[in-house]
Amino acid sequence: MIFPVIVAQGESSMADNGLLESVLRLVEKVDGGTDSQDVAADLGVDHQVIVGAVKSLQALGEVISAEQKSSRHWELTGEGREIAEQGSHEARVFNAIPDEGLPQNQLMKMPSGKVGFSKAMSNKWIRLDKAHEGGPRVFKTVTIEDTVRDKLQLVQKGQSAKLEDKEKNELKKRKLLSEVTVKSYWITKGSSFSTTITKQETELTPEMIASGSWKEKKFKPYNFEAMGVAPDCGHLHPLMKVRTQFRQIFLEMGFTEMPTNNFIESSFWNFDSLFQPQQHPARDQHDTFFISDPALAHEFPQDYLERVKKVHSEGGYGSQGYKYDWKIEEAQKNLLRTHTTAVSARMLYKLAQQKFTPVKYFSIDRVFRNETLDATHLAEFHQIEGVVADYGLTLGNLMGILHQFFTKLGITKLRFKPAYNPYTEPSMEVFSYHEGLKKWVEVGNSGVFRPEMLLPMGLPEGVSVIAWGLSLERPTMIKYGINNIRELVGHKVNLQMVYDSPICRLDS
Amino acid sequence: MPTVSVKRDLLFEALGQKYTDEEFDELCFEFGLELDEITSEKEILIREQGGEKAEGASDVVLYKIDVPANRYDLLCLEGLVRGLQVFKEKLEAPRYKRVSPADGGEPQRLVITEETASVRPHAVAAVLRNITFTQERYESFIELQEKLHQNICRKRTLVAIGTHDLDTISGPFTYTAKPPGEIRFKPLSQSREYTAAELMSLYKTDSHLRHYLHIIENEPLYPIIYDSNGIVLSMPPIINGDHSKISLNTKNIFIECTATDLTKAKITLDMVVTMFSVYCDEPFTVEEAEVVYPDGRLSVYPELAYRTETLSGDFINKRVGINESAESIAQLLTRMCLRSEVSGEGDLIQVEIPPTRADVIHACDIMEDAAIAYGFNNIVRSTPRTYTVANQLPVNKLTELLRQDLTAAGFTEALTFALCSEEDIADKLRKNITETRAVHISNPKTADFQVARTSLLPGLLKTIAANRKMPLPLKLFEISDVVLKDETKDVGARNNRRLCAVYYNKSPGFEVIHGLLDRVMQLLDVKPGRNQGYHIQAAEDSTFFPGRCAEIFSCGKSIGHLGVLHPDVISRFELTMPCSAIDIDIEPFL
């Protein structure tokens, strides 16, 4: 393996040029390369110094190539080095004993006393006269040869090969030798090998450009493996990036944006105008946030309100109605809108007050539900809604336009399931085939607004209004691989996620 | 969406066909149902209460099927099977008949007294004769009542159903209302008599019944139904009497529904009798019962009304986007339990809406059923030719443009909640709640949803608090709506589009925020200057550090503030560093 070049290495950490050139001269002499340990031995310097030199040479470009390898070899332990220098414990004990002998207790006080005594005894180098006058006394018996020291010195000189394995293992057992793995380099000439070191420039400077000196200079290679410096900039929130894309899609399809900047809505526009009966579960305190201040809406188009009341309580426009006692008090209750369809209702009512022209509307804005919160549900989320009003629109048209819309999101495989919604009939849930999950997943809801909603507004009889909706959060969570909605929306999001989120192209 | 749980094998036996899970799922999809889960009682117990409790529980496969909220006729196995069999053309939709008592006797009679008027004024009744229960049928009968109670009956507030073994009681029955202390009977599943008052406290701890107590709890009179011997049938909408309880061996059932909504009571009664008359000796017949109102009016129930609608094949074709003959459309509708015939006049079709299909209230409902039977996914998808030119909402267009340039200026976009606590917009900003013009929510589940925000600042500060580990400086912005009370609007409140930005670092960085203001004004093409331009002017605002706050004016009009936040504001949002902020209204620049 060729090690990556290191740009950041400064001059100071580099080995001096003299050593580098010495290394290069050695490399020049051998064909097929040399081991950095041999270089160290030849130059008589520590191996680590040569490792540093190799790294410095690598930083110069293709002067050398160095491949790291590891080899096992024998090395003296601390105690081993001490023995190689001062002799084995037993030899030191032996040498400390004068011809007239030495009292045992005095010998034992020596640094090598205990170990040296027993080892010298077992070697029969010395004898102990326990009955000696004045206490036990030790005497030399023979002349000796300190073979342990000799062997260790061989290893120290790098000639451990001269010892037999048995000998080495014995010394290892005595913790004088250890077998270590050495990481070294196999150094060969590089493609631009030279035995002289040219100083490399780190960066191009205005002076070099002016003088043309850059032509003569060598430049330190860059480390292309490293990351660049992050630009100093702000970031858009991922959910808002997705919102921008959805807006773009609607605009491309010719849809006009509805004024959804009214979070507070009356029950009348949020429910009654949509032909959602007053006992409907969605109107329950458990599902909807009601407003205590300002609690009631105080202004309604009066004629229209009467028509809404009638269609709920008695029917009309071809409908049986819900046949219940419709109360203005319920309709007046203010709430946080539960869907942007409340705004669609206002827009369609407004449209009905003029000579009819076909419209295509959209909105993407916040809606509120007093629901139990979990990993995918918050009390507020963004609803995406599209509405088309024209004469003679069909259910097939709704499917066609949904197909076009979802194609722009990169979703082409759609199918539709009959569903129920109080203000659309027919109602269809939109499913798309999820290649990852290998199943059909619901991606939106759609339908044709009921005549009981449209006719009281005053829209012409033949006009159909088709509409669909989905949440902004769900596709965003899928797009950015987020499982918990709290990691996407609200103050608890990790800003790093915002900083790191890629641009949004929904169709790719 | 209600979920109906049915035993798979029982379902397939009734359907006369076995399906794989996938095949059945597909059938559901086509029909507008959803096979939500495949499980067993054992599995449910293991999941809900752990393995030990589940020992010995049944591992019969259960299908949990989601049913559209308006299809009460599909809330039990009997209804589901009937609907699917007719859809698959294996069965003709039955015709439900109301009959007089077989022996020529008097119909059962339920007399309503005027005392009920204040609490639960309506009642309807019917009799199922010579019914044969099995364990499964019995369970399904109980379960259907529960499903109806939860759905059309709106948790018994609108309608409550009581079913009784007719052979244990004798009519005429009286539906009246009495003070709780005067009502005394032995309720279902209890061993002794209680007064109504005692029952209300007994059921306070009942996991099921306690949810219904509030319906009558504070009424001076409780609804109660007696037979001619003074035996209590039920105390609606809470509990039935033990005396008349039905069992597997019950042959004749008296059904009463008491209600605050008569239409829903009629539908509920129709559902119970149409679903279960299938088990009567003479299937699909229901014995009538009379209900006498306090004013002497007499009504006969169940209504079991059939209604005929006439519509053209052309109407269906044009609305759905298909091209079928009237005959074939009639056939499609018949498969949806809407027996239809071509009338012979042009392409007119006569559609009969049975009592089971209370959801069909308009021709558009019929049109939908034709489309379902045709198959939504067989309809050719086509592009409408509606030609329109798109327009952006000006305030959103401006917001989009500014957001881009604020990030280019080095600020990162936050997205915070529109709802928050009173404390966030008042105490923590050193403001009095009354001066905020905040809109208050009446039913928040937690303090996080007490008010709609009147400032974007708390959200940004909370975002910083949650990101204190990020490298400084933190530069955040948000352009979004706040909500303010406004008497001139029909609902008494309006949104206001604001731009808010904060700079959080070891030094306050007023100059950074001031520089951002200058940049925003440059983007909005407003030059510095006192009259036609913008300028800032020292101001006092309790949110800001004294002497470090300025009011921003554009063309002479105040549009917001900027400055260094008050140290108390910083600590109240659990922050530790100095922070400067700008908060402006961008609507003047539209």
pLDDT score at A2:
40
The answer to whether the beta carbons of residues A276 and A283 sit under 8 Å apart is yes
B459–A251 C-beta distance less than 8 A: no
**What percent of chain B is modeled with pLDDT above 70?**
100
- Sorting pLDDT into bands at 50, 70 and 90, what band is A318? very high
Q: How many CB atoms lie within 10 A of CB B13?
A: 12
Question: What's the pLDDT tens digit per position in A387-441?
Answer: 999 999 999 999 999 999 999 988 889 999 999 999 999 999 999 988 888 888 8
**Measuring CA to CA, how many Å separate A507 from each of A240, A246, A365, A408, B390?**
17, 11, 22, 6, 21
Q: Which residue, B568, B541, B570, is CA-closest to B460? A: B570
* Better-predicted residue by pLDDT, B458 or A114: B458
- Starting at the earlier edge strand, list the strands of the sheet with B61-66: B3-7, B61-66, B34-40
- Segment among A25-29, B185-189, B216-220, B546-550 with least mean pLDDT: A25-29
Q: Which residue, B364, B273, B257, is CA-closest to B315? A: B364
- Segment among A113-127, A228-242, A363-377, B211-225 with least mean pLDDT: A113-127
pLDDT score at A13:
42
Mean predicted confidence (pLDDT) in B264-268: 95
pLDDT at residue A1 tops 50: no
Q: Which residue of A has its CA nearest to B492?
A: A294
Rounded to a whole number, what is the distance in Å from the CA of B354 to chain A's nearest CA? Answer: 14
pLDDT score at A217:
85
Rounded to a whole number, what is the distance in Å from the CA of B63 to chain A's nearest CA? Answer: 19
Say which residues have a Cβ less than 8 Å from residue A215's Cβ, sequence separation at least 6. Answer: none
pLDDT score at A12:
40
pLDDT at residue A79 tops 90: no
Helix (H, G, I), strand (E, B) or coil at B480: strand
- Sorting pLDDT into bands at 50, 70 and 90, what band is B172? very high
B491–A334 C-beta distance less than 8 A: yes
| pTM, entire model | 0.81
In chain A, which residues have their Cβ closer than 8 Å to the Cβ of B441?
Answer: 289-292, 336
Question: What's the pLDDT tens digit per position in B145-155?
Answer: 999 999 999 99
A451–B495 C-beta distance less than 8 A: no
Helix (H, G, I), strand (E, B) or coil at A184: strand
Average pLDDT, whole number, for chain B?
A: 94
- Segment among A22-26, B180-184, B265-269, B583-587 with least mean pLDDT: A22-26
- Sorting pLDDT into bands at 50, 70 and 90, what band is A375? confident
pLDDT score at A10:
39
- Which amino acid appears at position A39 of this protein? V
The answer to whether the beta carbons of residues B128 and B287 sit under 8 Å apart is yes
d(CA A495, CA A58): 40
- Give me the helices (H) in B427-530, please: 457-465, 510-523
pLDDT at residue B142 tops 70: yes
CA torsion B520-B523-B529-B534 (nearest 10°) is -40
Is B414 within 8 Å of chain A by CB?
yes
- Sorting pLDDT into bands at 50, 70 and 90, what band is A112? confident
ipTM rounded to 2 decimals = 0.92
**What percent of chain A is modeled with pLDDT above 90?**
46
**Chain length of chain B:** 590
Structure tokens at A8: 């950041």
- Segment among A143-147, A203-207, B80-84 with least mean pLDDT: A143-147
Q: Which residue of A has its CA nearest to B463?
A: A491
pLDDT at residue A6 tops 70: no
Is B378 within 8 Å of chain A by CB?
no
**Measuring CA to CA, how many Å separate A316 from each of A276, A310, A319, B361, B380?**
15, 7, 5, 10, 32
pLDDT at residue A229 tops 70: yes
pLDDT score at A15:
52
Q: What is the DSSP letter of B516?
A: H
Closest CB to A279 among B261, B322, B380: B261
A292–B362 C-beta distance less than 8 A: no
**What percent of chain A is modeled with pLDDT above 70?**
97
pLDDT at residue A5 tops 70: no
pLDDT score at B368:
96
Helix (H, G, I), strand (E, B) or coil at A477: helix
pLDDT score at B531:
83
Mean predicted confidence (pLDDT) in B235-245: 94
Mean predicted confidence (pLDDT) in A285-298: 93
Q: Which residue of B has its CA nearest to A359?
A: B388
The answer to whether the beta carbons of residues A273 and A453 sit under 8 Å apart is yes
- Give me the helices (H) in B4-130, please: 8-15, 21-31, 41-49, 77-87
Rounded to a whole number, what is the distance in Å from the CA of A496 to chain B's nearest CA? Answer: 8
pLDDT at residue A466 tops 90: yes
Average pLDDT, whole number, for chain A?
A: 87
A237–B413 C-beta distance less than 8 A: yes
Q: Which residue of A has its CA nearest to B157?
A: A279
pLDDT at residue A11 tops 80: no
Q: Which residue of B has its CA nearest to A422?
A: B70
pLDDT score at A121:
82
pLDDT at residue A16 tops 80: no
